[in-house]
Amino acid sequence: CVGVTANSPITALKMPVAFVLGGLDFPHINARSRLLRDMVAAELIEIADAAHLPSFERPDAFNDFVRGWLARHTADHVLRAGG
């Protein structure tokens, strides 16, 4: 993103962003992460029966989400690029 620096708030990002939360993670982490729902291009999934490492605790659910997200956003990128 043009004009976004390392010191910019994460909400300044305009490109697609995915966040995966474990529903059993520490409450302060989940509370902070839920604020990201307001990002323009963010998609957030909460895996209810996982804690801090959903990719290890529920790899099936994590991988399903990531595969679907990548498929949707790769298709979008290719269509916008005219490919």
- Residue-wise pLDDT tens digits, 1-60: 566 676 777 777 778 888 898 999 988 877 777 667 667 678 888 999 999 999 999 999
3-state secondary structure 47-72: ECCCCCCHHHHCHHHHHHHHHHHHHH
**Distance (Å, rounded) from C-alpha 24 to C-alpha 31?**
12
**What is the pLDDT at residue 55?**
96
pLDDT band of residue 80 (cuts 50, 70, 90) is: low
Query: pLDDT of 59-72, one tens digit each?
Result: 999 999 999 999 98
Q: Are strands 17-22 and 42-47 parallel, antiparallel or unpaired?
A: parallel
Q: Within a 10 A sphere around the Cβ of 16, how many other Cβ atoms?
A: 16
The DSSP output letter for 30 is: H
Between the CA atoms of 13, 18, 24 and 26, what dihedral angle is there, to the nearest 10 degrees? -20
